[in-house]
Amino acid sequence: MGQYVAPLREIQFVLHELLLVEAELKQMPKHSEIDADIINQVLEEGGRFASKVLFPLNHSGDREGCHLDNQTHAVTTPKGFKEAYRQYIEAGWPALSCDPEYGGQALPIVLNNSFYEMLNSANQAWAMYPGLSHGAYECLHAHGTPEQKRLYLPKLVSGEWTGTMCLTEPHCGTDLGLLRTKAEPQADGSYKITGGKIFISAGEHDMAANILHLVLARLPGAPEGSKGISLFLVPKFIPNTDGTLGARNNIVCGAIEEKMGIHGNSTCQMNLDDATGWIIGEPNKGLNAMFVFMNAARLGVGMQSLGLTEVAYQNALIYAKDRLQMRSLSGAKAPDKPADPIIVHPDVRRMLLSAKAYAEGARAFSSYVALQIDKELNHPDEEVRKNAADMVALLTPIIKAFITDNAWIATSECMQVYGGHGFIAESGMEQYVRDARINMIYEGTNTVQSLDLLGRKILMDNGAKLRKFAALVKAFVEESSTDAAMSEFVTPLADLDDKVAKLTMEIGMKAFQNQDEIGAAAVPYLRVVGHLVYAYFFARMAKIALAQLDSGDTFYKAKLATARFYFARLLPETATLIRQVRSGAKPLLDLETELF
């Protein structure tokens, strides 16, 4: 079923040569003692766990899926999942970037992010269990009461308990303002919560002793819409004050969703019938608290798609080097064999390079954002924290939407490399395509991310955050302007930066007349900005590679070739996208609904 080798050199290049994380972390007292040796050691051990423990369970977990006992409401995960999770917590992986006050190791988020890339390459369905738990930890750490933190955080940090986010209901997906789950206050300060939630990843399973559900619900008399939503902690087992497990709570799995992919994760319909819960944060401010979880999840979903892109590329590359089909158009490249390996064919190389470029661009981009989160949380300079927070806010929807869109493209292309063998389950490639498809949907569909980027993150502040990123681009272009070898990268980068600024202004002016212009422009606009971000990082990576070409290390030659491919064959998509944006809302809205 193929293989997965952790791309340690690629990750180390991004962290140590592109982002200079050691020097960046030295500026943060919390992380000042973290050096390259510590980072590399963690990555090596993490890569070993991903490739040796998790990857062998990926295909079998997909085939077996999860099983619900309708009498007990218990869910059994695929064979080996529970044992792998035990190894995971015994090695201390859940605590990697958590607060030492609750048993964490206090390592930087940028390192935890790279670790999760490897987990997702090896087995996305499995990685979702601890990934959601980390989001629950972040939410409780930010908004929990001292007592909630004391009781629950050590269990999440150790991995002994896991967590979920319970948002969606059958009649409302993204529009959470429509949710109907009710929370009735009790005399002892708790709440009785009744309702139904769907699409709850890791909602019920046998991997941990307890599951902490973070549930959105309405208080009596709450305002309508999203302004009347509160957040509640609803444990599967109600813990005693000493942390031991008490009574079983009235939140159960009613069914497991039959899904296209991620079969190894138990995506549950959860039923609450006077389940006991406790409020997190302020009444009617539940979405504010949950956004901590949701933003962590959006970064996590980006990493899921980066992971799938990487593992699909690795296996397609191996296949392309081994599979013999036809002869090269320019003459036989393997005359001693009956046909040439398909990697000699230009279009096979296009497919492989597309996946390779989308993986490398996503790795640089997501690592940069993770480092900005570290700065936002830990840097001693308030101005640095503010700028980092703005970058995270601006780039999070692009992480979620652009990386997941590109993974759908990349995994499909990698399946195509296999030809008919890619379409059958034996190769393992069709699973990556199926698993990649959900990433464009959950944690806010990519259209919602596009609306968030354009409407909320850019137009709402008149482009202030976007101009901060543009300043990074302009500074890099200026510092590279005297380097003739960089012209092929900085010229199109500067051109796209200028076009994005003009395009943003055009959309803003149209939106004053008709707000539907934002909805019509949002999706292609996000891809344009996504390409601007990738072009910036590929140009920076190309500069490093150019400086190292004489070193004799072929890694830099490959890095430069990938950057050139990106600028030549992928970046030009922006021309079409810009034309789509400028076409406006009219072609979409002219046809009356009844004529569809």
Specify whether 344 is located in the same domain as 221.
Answer: no
CATH code: domain of residue 280: 2.40.110.20
Specify whether 307 is located in the same domain as 395.
Answer: yes
Question: Does any domain span residue 152?
Answer: no
Specify whether 445 is located in the same domain as 466.
Answer: yes
Question: Does any domain span residue 376?
Answer: yes
User: What is the Cα–Cα distance from 93 to 48, expressed in whole angstroms?
Assistant: 13
Specify whether 171 is located in the same domain as 55.
Answer: no
Specify whether 531 is located in the same domain as 399.
Answer: yes
Last residue of a domain, one of 99, 114, 143: 143
Specify whether 385 is located in the same domain as 334.
Answer: yes
Specify whether 481 is located in the same domain as 503.
Answer: yes
Q: Do residues 469 and 533 lie in contact, with contact meaning Cβ atoms separated by under 8 Å?
A: yes
Average pLDDT for runs of 10 along the chain of length 596: 95 98 98 97 98 98 98 98 98 97 97 98 98 94 96 98 96 88 98 98 98 97 94 98 96 98 98 98 91 86 98 98 96 96 98 98 98 96 97 97 98 98 96 98 96 97 97 98 97 98 98 96 98 98 97 97 98 98 96 93
Specify whether 137 is located in the same domain as 199.
Answer: no
Question: Does any domain span residue 425?
Answer: yes
Question: Does any domain span residue 449?
Answer: yes
Question: Does any domain span residue 150?
Answer: no
Last residue of a domain, one of 94, 114, 143: 143
Residue 106's alpha-carbon distances to 26, 341, 393, in angstroms, are 14, 48, 23
CATH code: domain of residue 469: 1.20.140.10
Give the pLDDT confidence score for residue 295 in this predicted structure: 85
Specify whether 378 is located in the same domain as 274.
Answer: no
The amino acid at 162: T
Q: Do residues 344 and 305 lie in contact, with contact meaning Cβ atoms separated by under 8 Å?
A: no
Taking residue 248's Cβ as centre, other Cβ atoms within 10 Å add up to 12
User: What is the Cα–Cα distance from 110 to 295, expressed in whole angstroms?
Assistant: 15
Specify whether 328 is located in the same domain as 346.
Answer: yes
Q: Is-catalytic flag, 426?
A: no
Q: Do residues 202 and 77 lie in contact, with contact meaning Cβ atoms separated by under 8 Å?
A: no
Specify whether 320 is located in the same domain as 278.
Answer: no
Give the pLDDT confidence score for residue 371 in this predicted structure: 97
Q: Do residues 264 and 122 lie in contact, with contact meaning Cβ atoms separated by under 8 Å?
A: no
What is the H or E stretch that residue 197 is in? strand 191-201
Give the pLDDT confidence score for residue 1 in this predicted structure: 73
Q: Do residues 77 and 206 lie in contact, with contact meaning Cβ atoms separated by under 8 Å?
A: yes
Q: Do residues 3 and 315 lie in contact, with contact meaning Cβ atoms separated by under 8 Å?
A: yes
Taking residue 261's Cβ as centre, other Cβ atoms within 10 Å add up to 20
Give the pLDDT confidence score for residue 289 in this predicted structure: 86
Give the pLDDT confidence score for residue 104 in this predicted structure: 97
Specify whether 350 is located in the same domain as 259.
Answer: no
State residue 256 phi and psi, 5-degree precision: -105, 130
User: What is the Cα–Cα distance from 506 to 184, expressed in whole angstroms?
Assistant: 48
Q: Which is the catalytic residue, given 413, 443, 478, 479?
A: 443
Q: Which tokens sit at 174?
A: 């993204």
Structure letter (DSSP) for residue 260: S
Question: Does any domain span residue 100?
Answer: yes
Last residue of a domain, one of 291, 319, 341: 291
Domain that holds residue 238: 162-291
Question: Does any domain span residue 592?
Answer: no
**Count of domains for the chain:** 3
Give CA angle at 166 (163, 168), nearest 5°: 150
Structure letter (DSSP) for residue 587: H
Question: Does any domain span residue 545?
Answer: yes
511-514: long-range contacts at Cβ-Cβ below 8 A with a sequence spacing of 24 or more? 511/459, 514/585
CATH code: domain of residue 41: 1.10.540.10
Give the pLDDT confidence score for residue 470 in this predicted structure: 98
